[in-house]
Structure 1
């Protein structure tokens, strides 16, 4: 009986240890292991939805959702964050699908910070196959139905371990100030 009571007390103490909640844009160095970066002011919510734009003959559809408690793993720690996640569909002028990440966990974009004064969100893009085109995308909320897109990839180089037959095309629009309209 005494062992059971002791076990329950230890379990209760361990279970009551709360996860540290920190606001958006907390510097990475200031985030303790297993903390939660929380969208306390609902800065991400206004970006959620389906948006479309045309660029160089292609129709781009962005499917923007909010994921709470998205696990982030770094070399020396892991933590959770509320983040926008963008999956996308790119079609050519004839309607053929060039790339569709709707049912995939690869090639997606996710938010890493916001700029409330500019009503914008900063996203990280893993790049397409072999990491080609990885970099930062900035979305700026223009009004209730439009966002502006800025994307300039950091690298289009291909590593030696990339299969020769992998599609290395970056289908996302590499441009600034492209206007997407909410559907």
Structure 2
């Protein structure tokens, strides 16, 4: 083979390898069993955009403020595969009626609170890791009602068992509203 043919063959091989190594981009609502390792789940249709912002609600005398942001290409690690996904991330502050902060997760990276699915139109499901000793972990669903309001539903899992495994010196109170159909208003 002459030098020109060898270079052309090497270039063609390189191009084919680059194309085959590109990460697969899939819609954000792709089923878990259909996501290949290394894929990127993207918010292609901007389904997350209407949820981004700061929202407030009052529940049982407490003011709850949600700070919802979008994180592109969040690494999702599991025992079966790793992949990247666009996600909504929530940080929050809960204050009592006197304005005293009961819980603030704005600078806490141990508490995970991020979107995991779109179970219905205008609805986003979130995984919440809970706080101390994972107390309060569970799923939270937010449904977009209109341009300024979202509806909240939170059902924590196995509170008693989780709290009983926690040292007595740690706060195991759940400060997030354990309720359905609580309306948060965009600020």
* TM-score normalised by L of structure 2: 0.87
Q: Residue by residue, what CA displacement relative to the aligned partner does 1:26-81 show, whole Å, maximum 9, x if unpaired?
A: 11111111101111100000000000000001100000000010000001210011
Q: Residue by residue, what CA displacement relative to the aligned partner does 1:109-134 show, whole Å, maximum 9, x if unpaired?
A: 110111453x1111111111111111
Q: Residue by residue, what CA displacement relative to the aligned partner does 1:119-169 show, whole Å, maximum 9, x if unpaired?
A: 111111111111111111010101110000000111202277633312111
Query: What does residue 42 of structure 1 align with?
Result: 46
Query: What does residue 139 of structure 1 align with?
Result: 142
Which residue, out of 54, 57, 61, partners 2:61? Answer: 57
Give the deviation of 1:108 after TM superposition.
Answer: 3.6
Q: Which has the higher mean CA deviation after the structures are superposed, 36-45 or 160-169?
A: 160-169
Query: What does residue 98 of structure 1 align with?
Result: 102
Runs ≥4 residues deviating over 4 A:
8-16
Alpha-carbon separation, structure 2, partners of 1:164 and 1:13: 60
Q: Residue by residue, what CA displacement relative to the aligned partner does 1:81-128 show, whole Å, maximum 9, x if unpaired?
A: 1110000000111111111001111224110111453x1111111111
**2:76 matched to 1:69?**
no
After superposition, residues 1-183 of structure 1 pair within 5 angstroms as 16=19, 17-117=21-121, 119-156=122-159, 157-158=161-162, 162-183=166-187
Q: Contact (CA 8 Å) 1:43, 1:116: kept in 2 or not?
A: no
Alpha-carbon separation, structure 2, partners of 1:109 and 1:23: 21
Alpha-carbon separation, structure 1, partners of 2:110 and 2:15: 39
* TM-score normalised by L of structure 1: 0.89
Q: Contact (CA 8 Å) 2:66, 2:90: kept in 1 or not?
A: yes
Alpha-carbon separation, structure 2, partners of 1:121 and 1:144: 15
- Secondary structure at the aligned position of 2:33 is classed as helix
- Secondary structure at the aligned position of 1:71 is classed as strand
Change (3 A) 1:12 1:105: farther
Aligned residues: 177
Q: Contact (CA 8 Å) 1:89, 1:100: kept in 2 or not?
A: yes
- Secondary structure at the aligned position of 1:164 is classed as coil
